[in-house]
Structure 1
Amino acid sequence: MVPLMKKSIPKTPYNTSDDMTDQSQDQVPCCCFFCSMREPDATIRRDGIASCFKEIPLRENQEHVLVLSALWHTAMNKPNDSEFPSLGIFKCMANLINKGIKDRNWLLTNQNIYIPYYAAHIIGSYTMNKEEFALIAVQSGVIPPLMELLSGKISWVEQRVAVRALGHLASYNSTFDSVAEYEQEAVKLTMTLASTCLEVVYVEFVAVNDVKKRLGYHKNLLTRGVGDLEMENQKAEEWGSQLQCWSIYLLNCFACKDRSLSLDLICKSVFLKDLCNMWGGMVNHTSPAGVGLIRILCYNEMGRKSIAQSPKVLKILGNLSRSSDYWQYIGIDCLVLLLKDPDTRYKVFDIAVLYLVDLIELRSLGDKSNVGETITKVLLLEHNRSKVKFNGNKVEASIQVVMDLKVHRRKREKLMFKQNLEEARVLANMKKQQGNHMFRLGKVDEALLKYSEALDICPLRFRKERVVLYSNKAQCNLMLKNPDSAISDSTRALCLSDQPNTHIKSLRRRSQAYDMKGMAKESLMDCIMFMNCCIKSSDNSRRVKIPYHATRMICKQMEATWLFAKARSKVTHNNLVVERTRECNENGRVENKGNNEEQPHDHMTLMMEKKDFMLGLSTILEEPFNAKDTSRRKMERARRRLKKGQF
């Protein structure tokens, strides 16, 4: 590791414009690369650029960082342009990374500390879309230096772009084998990175509130030199999430190939539990993060066996399947795959059925149709009471619900006349009215009983009526402090709604039930969906009134589900332990002053003195930085401060 804190990092002079090439023509002193770029003759221009790529790693020039910045902008904006890849840019970048890793004095001279980051980012950008570019990059020897960065030889910022580039290279059939030569090392490093990166980013950057103590080159890379403390934290959160999601993506590349070595490492129970807490979604909308990798594992025999042995993973998949999370279908897919496998079916049945029973009337989910029918068939697959070992009355009752709704009542109602069905609907409505009356009188138990009787009478085809009944039952269970029953009833109501997960009252009630159980993420997702439904149902979208309880719940759950919440809690706990240890040590020194005068530091201080400065990735769309966003963020920050009464 490079002890970067011992050197002051100079600020970059190239962060006042998004178009680095135009800026370099007007403000940057002339150098070989920029002269070649301005050459009108195409042949001479290409020869000059190729010559520059060969010479840059060999000569010392403080303008190299400007050249790398210009190349970075080009790679970000024109990743499919073949000019630079055909002229030797990958070889140049690999050599620069190697130079930065091996020559610490060079790395900390001028602004060379930026060069390994830009070099790895350029490799990743050019190999993102084009397989032919990836093949050229591998032939140019980019993998060994990228592996060095992945191992943390510099900092987490370089790890982020290194794992991004390796993920792109591993995603192509023609270049996967080259990455797989480092399979064991790459998988182990990436698993560790995925599990620990958020804590590293928090401890080494976000938690450092004193701006002067934050690494200057990290701050400039995050904000291009035009951001304040709030923007630095915002970008660090985004980059931390990307680092984790790209790490999972690289592991996906190995898992998809069904390689026994990779699967044996990834399927460790400890890492599977860690995966459940890794989620993209709110920060990286295109990444399913940890559950995405779990689904890949569910397509493999070894993966299914490992997941089936972890009740915690199964419960998290169940909670996901009964949520309004965008990745809800992944939770359902995983449980269905586990139930279809004869080797894992009866290991997971007792847990899976308790969640999937609430989804048997779900018609569609996104582009997937007949979801409920698929779940029903899987639950009743080879249904034989002598084979299934039920774990308690809940599982028995759940199977009975499936049999009643999808088999017995369906057959019975097919034989009923239309007039009889209408009479049953009217009778169910009378029961509902009685339940409403009981509820208004405060007799919640009796109201719950009436709603249940109405559901038993109401024909299955009257879905809207049954949505209301299930939702009313959920409210009663909330009042009776039965959150599990409230979640089950709300989920059934949301499955019966015309569009899944859009019944406003059920969303609100399930969010409250999740909150009672301390399930912040699920509660937050329902709150967000609740707000979206309020906006869509409003006649005037410009003046939407969001209930106070919803905004309050969102604020509470966003704080609990903050990307760095776990890291913050751990750091706070460690600080308390260190403080208590220090107090004990100080008391001990008073009593044994003569023996301890030569040892003035406590254990944590000694560790910090010996420790090198260590800081610390589905493809994720990464957009070029736009400096114009700063004014909007400042206005939002000012508005929040005004509401808090800080002005």
Structure 2
Amino acid sequence: MDSLKKKGKITPNFIPVNPTINTANMGLAQNCDNPGCFFCIMKEPDSSVRRAGMASCFKEMPLRDNQEHVLVLSGIWNIAMTQPDDPELPSLGIFDCMVSLIYKGINDQEWLLRDQNVYIPYYAAHVIGSYTMNKVEFAEKAVKSGVIPPLMELLRGKISWVEQRVAVRALGHLASYERTFKAVAAYEDEVVKLAMLLASSCLDVVYVNFVGIKDMRKRLKYHSDLLTRGVGGIEMENQKAEEWASQLQCWSIYLLNCFACKERSLNLICKQEFLKELCKMWGGLVNHTSPAGVGLIRILCHSKIGRKSISGCKQILENLCHLSRSSDDWQYVGVDCLILLLKDPDTRYKVLEATTLFLIDLVELKSLGDRSNLGEAITNALLLDYKPSSKLRFKNSKVQGALQEIWELKVEKREREKMMSEEKVEERRVLIELIRQQANRLFRLGGIEAAVRSYTEALDACPLKLRKERMVLYSNRAQCHLLLGDPDATIRDTTRALCLCSPANCHGKSLWRRSQAYNMKGLARESLMDCIMFVNGCINSEMMNKQEKIPYHAARMISKQMEKTWLFAGAHKRATGSDHVKEVQDSDEDDNETERWNEELEYKLITKMMTEKKSTACSLSGLSTTIEEPLKLKEGNRRPGLKMGRRRNRVVVAQSM
């Protein structure tokens, strides 16, 4: 690909067709003297003539050297993206044509660098992926046309990371069907190794070869044009490159999912080095339809080999524990993984000590999205073989105490309160309110530690069915812990409060307090998720005055954590040896004044984004110019109990207290 960087080899003025434009109605097709013009053929009213013309066009296109090929390909790309289920083009030889064009680009570099041909392999692979994403019949036709070998060439990096992105996307679709999986599995060892390598290294590759190049003149022009459709400056290019890099990583993981679901190549996928990297791969705000690394981890947890490998990886266990106590949309995935590990006798005692102190805070969780009785499932997993009289002891005495606490709360206290009358419950409610008011007074007078003791007293006396009262007590006690500088205790109490509210994770005060506690512990991702949920709640609160702004401190927290969780933060550090994501620029202005101005600007931007009620994911990462389908495994190729993906719900939604 080095030759592509030589100036003069790539025409700089090409602007790819905008995906919203109907190429069949473009002025370029008017007054056309070419009898074989694709766009003229597309406008032919007689279907039999039109079909014959397009079939002839697909046969002749790879054989002719025409400057208009790239325009035709971009038009076909537009059709494939907007009408992926239309059988007309797949039935007329579109796949054979795309195969020939990809091979031509790979094998004939002189042709690739002439005119605008460098765009053609990208469009061809994208067309294959679009037509095979929904219909197994199209996937079978594509495989018979021989699409896999040229896609493998692109996957090997024969051109660039841009072509790798669409190649791994197409291969992922083909591998997700039972009827075409075998064709992809013919390259199993190489496919799995390449997908693992791509998932691990693609962010560094995109950063070093594109985002990290500050001089736009030194970037590959055709990459810039493909990313922004020829519109937008360096900021838009960087935003789109970030989005595409995330997609490249997530599609690579998706391809691995297809093999892991069938328990294929698990010895390769479960290598400790890759697992450590996997837990850092976050679908995040950029690619908000994919569970990314944690999605593959959950699939691995359904297999014996996978559970054994994951139970021995400290980094993954820590990641799953933090995820299970977060407001991330994939929280339930973290919980699922931990439950699977706890239920397996071979891994239970390897993970019990590491997970108990996290899962104890979730035992009263009723539902999470479409998942119900999660708290009961967690309780059963933790207390699977536990008995209060058991002589089993742990190195960490806190674990023994936590299991005892769960037993007392979920077994003994529940049993005692079964016979409690409504009158007795009401008496307790009045008593608890008095204790709470006393604790509030102590708090206001600065007696923080005394207030903690009073809130604890109220919680001990509060019946389990008074969930709202217990939520407030936990949240108030968390505020005390926060002021006392104890982030761990703050996280425990706020998590319990968020499990008690309905729906889960909607109590604004608890979200903000936990966001601050996560920030104190350096857990930027978890802090960011809580802060976004908190701001969403502020915007949608019925009590909020329309003239009020998003709390300044929350906007600043989002800005801070967005910088820390930037997709390329790790790649930037490795490339520059610096922990600072933002580059320092020389300025004659006063540093303090500049900092205040930047803070005010960031606050205004974040406030505008959130109050306009756009999708937080899109608002914070840039609008997509290419609509990518959600990552999900096709029906008929899924083992019972496995789900490949779930759309992240980062759109601002109404929340209730």
TM-score (norm 2): 0.85
Structure having greater relative contact order (Cα 8 Å, sep ≥ 6): 1
Q: How far apart are 1:407 and its partner, in Å?
A: 1.0
Q: How far apart are 1:14 and its partner, in Å?
A: 4.7
Q: Quick check: 1:36–1:49 contact (8 Å CA) kept in 2?
A: yes
- C-alpha change, 1:13 and 1:269, in structure 2 (3 Å) is closer
C-alpha distance in 2 between matches for 1:546 and 1:270: 42
How do residues 81-480 of structure 1 correspond to structure 2 at under 5 angstroms?
81-259=86-264, 262-384=265-387, 388-480=392-484
Q: Quick check: 2:393–2:400 contact (8 Å CA) kept in 1?
A: no
Q: How far apart are 1:497 and its partner, in Å?
A: 1.0
Q: Give the one of 10, 13, 34 matched to 1:11.
A: 13
C-alpha distance in 1 between matches for 2:143 and 2:11: 32
How many residues align? The count is 580
Q: How far apart are 1:495 and its partner, in Å?
A: 0.6
User: 1:633 maps to which residue?
Assistant: none
Q: Mean Cα displacement is larger for which, 385-394 or 194-203?
A: 385-394
C-alpha distance in 2 between matches for 1:383 and 1:301: 23
Q: Give the one of 569, 572, 580 matched to 2:573.
A: 569
**Amino acid across the alignment from 2:5:** M
Q: Quick check: 1:277–1:290 contact (8 Å CA) kept in 2?
A: yes
Q: How far apart are 1:392 and its partner, in Å?
A: 0.9
Q: Deviations over 1:501-525 (max 9, x none)?
A: 1111111100000000000000000
C-alpha distance in 2 between matches for 1:339 and 1:502: 28
2:10 is the alignment partner of 1:20: no
- C-alpha change, 1:414 and 1:574, in structure 2 (3 Å) is closer
Q: Quick check: 2:442–2:451 contact (8 Å CA) kept in 1?
A: yes
C-alpha distance in 2 between matches for 1:166 and 1:31: 36
RMSD between aligned residues: 2.1
C-alpha distance in 2 between matches for 1:309 and 1:450: 41
Q: Deviations over 1:250-273 (max 9, x none)?
A: 1111111111xx211111112112
User: 2:68 maps to which residue?
Assistant: 63
Structure 1 segments unaligned to the other structure (5+ residues): 577-619, 625-647
Calculate percent identity across the aligned residue pairs. Answer: 63
Q: Quick check: 2:85–2:131 contact (8 Å CA) kept in 1?
A: yes
Q: Mean Cα displacement is larger for which, 344-353 or 52-61?
A: 52-61
- C-alpha change, 1:146 and 1:501, in structure 2 (3 Å) is same
Q: Secondary structure at the match of 1:543?
A: coil
C-alpha distance in 2 between matches for 1:408 and 1:137: 62
Q: Deviations over 1:24-52 (max 9, x none)?
A: 41387736242433444333322222122
Q: Secondary structure at the match of 2:30?
A: helix
**Amino acid across the alignment from 1:11:** N
C-alpha distance in 1 between matches for 2:30 and 2:270: 55
Q: Deviations over 1:518-553 (max 9, x none)?
A: 000000000011011112223467434321111111
**Amino acid across the alignment from 1:52:** C
User: 1:629 maps to which residue?
Assistant: none
C-alpha distance in 2 between matches for 1:295 and 1:38: 49
User: 2:655 maps to which residue?
Assistant: none
- C-alpha change, 1:92 and 1:510, in structure 2 (3 Å) is same
Q: Secondary structure at the match of 1:141?
A: coil
**Amino acid across the alignment from 1:88:** G
- C-alpha change, 1:396 and 1:47, in structure 2 (3 Å) is same
**Amino acid across the alignment from 2:446:** G
C-alpha distance in 2 between matches for 1:46 and 1:209: 47
Q: Quick check: 2:15–2:229 contact (8 Å CA) kept in 1?
A: no
Structure with greater proportional helix content: 1
2:555 is the alignment partner of 1:551: yes
Q: Secondary structure at the match of 1:274?
A: helix
- C-alpha change, 1:422 and 1:511, in structure 2 (3 Å) is same
Q: Deviations over 1:111-154 (max 9, x none)?
A: 11001000000000111111100001000000000011011111
C-alpha distance in 2 between matches for 1:524 and 1:14: 36
Q: Quick check: 2:365–2:500 contact (8 Å CA) kept in 1?
A: yes
Q: Give the one of 498, 503, 506 matched to 2:502.
A: 498
Q: Deviations over 1:597-636 (max 9, x none)?
A: xxxxxxxxxxxxxxxxxxxxxxx99529xxxxxxxxxxxx
Q: Mean Cα displacement is larger for which, 535-544 or 125-134?
A: 535-544
- C-alpha change, 1:388 and 1:112, in structure 2 (3 Å) is farther
Q: Which has the larger radius of gyration?
A: 1
Q: How far apart are 1:373 and its partner, in Å?
A: 1.2
Q: Give the one of 48, 53, 61 matched to 2:53.
A: 48
Q: Mean Cα displacement is larger for which, 46-55 or 267-276?
A: 46-55
Q: Secondary structure at the match of 2:168?
A: helix
- C-alpha change, 1:542 and 1:355, in structure 2 (3 Å) is same
Q: Quick check: 2:17–2:74 contact (8 Å CA) kept in 1?
A: no
Q: How far apart are 1:423 and its partner, in Å?
A: 2.8
C-alpha distance in 2 between matches for 1:463 and 1:621: 45
C-alpha distance in 2 between matches for 1:27 and 1:387: 90
C-alpha distance in 2 between matches for 1:299 and 1:366: 21
Q: Secondary structure at the match of 2:463?
A: coil
C-alpha distance in 1 between matches for 2:234 and 2:43: 38
Q: How far apart are 1:575 and its partner, in Å?
A: 11
C-alpha distance in 2 between matches for 1:268 and 1:405: 40
C-alpha distance in 1 between matches for 2:334 and 2:209: 34
2:564 is the alignment partner of 1:560: yes
Q: How far apart are 1:176 and its partner, in Å?
A: 0.3
Q: How far apart are 1:412 and its partner, in Å?
A: 1.6
TM-score (norm 1): 0.86
Q: Secondary structure at the match of 1:521?
A: helix
C-alpha distance in 1 between matches for 2:490 and 2:449: 14
Q: Quick check: 2:10–2:116 contact (8 Å CA) kept in 1?
A: no
C-alpha distance in 2 between matches for 1:172 and 1:542: 50
- C-alpha change, 1:79 and 1:386, in structure 2 (3 Å) is same
Q: Give the one of 527, 531, 538 matched to 2:535.
A: 531
**Amino acid across the alignment from 1:568:** H
C-alpha distance in 2 between matches for 1:387 and 1:310: 28
Q: How far apart are 1:435 and its partner, in Å?
A: 1.8
Q: Secondary structure at the match of 2:89?
A: helix
